Structure 1
Amino acid sequence: MAGFVYRENRVPHYQRLFQRHDGLRQWNKTPRSKILLYPYYLGLWTAVGGTMFMMGRMVLGHKTWFGKD
């Protein structure tokens, strides 16, 4: 447990990082941002696309993803 108690204080580092005026949004500033955000964006746009696709099919009277009812 000594590694947790006596580790480096990262607060000044993150204050400099997040208060820097570089034109980036806060959630895009860390190095891990791309790793975390790109799968989220992929899932978001897949869900939106699937919803729009099925909404169009429901308007046409089909209640399944593929094929005819």
Structure 2
Amino acid sequence: PGLYRRNNVPHWQRMHQTHDGLRQWQKGPRAKFMLYPYYALLASTSAATMYMMGRMVLGHKTWF
């Protein structure tokens, strides 16, 4: 099925090898859909961890 289709390798090479100041994982048509939820999850879990560490230092072992 894929024997006679168009070769997309030069297109992808041009896109990923341009010197536009972006990292490799930030390039591509679906990069923002994958990275922004990851960044949001990373920030929220880090904030929750810091919040609970502060509460544990003060002697509280629950969220509220």
Partner of 2:35: 37
Aligned match of 2:21: 23
CA drift of 1:50 comes to: 0.3
Across the aligned residues of Structure 1 and Structure 2, the Cα RMSD in angstroms comes to 1.1
- Distance in 2, Cα, partners of 1:54 & 1:7: 54
| TM-score normalised by the chain length of structure 2 | 0.89
Gaps of 5+ in 2: none
Specify every segment of 5 or more residues in structure 1 that has no aligned partner in the other structure, as ranges. Answer: none
Q: Of the two structures, which has the highest relative contact order with CA contacts closer than 8 Å and spacing of 6 or more?
A: 2
Cα deviations across residues 6-55 of structure 1 (Å, max 9, x unaligned)?
A: 33221111111111111111111112111110100010001100000000
The aligned length equals 64
Q: Percent identity?
A: 64
Q: TM-score, normalised by structure 1?
A: 0.84
CA radius of gyration, larger in? 1
Report what 2:59 is aligned to.
Answer: 61
Q: Which residue of 1 aligns with 2:9?
A: 11
After superposing on structure 2, the runs of 4+ consecutive aligned residues of structure 1 that deviate more than 4 Å are none
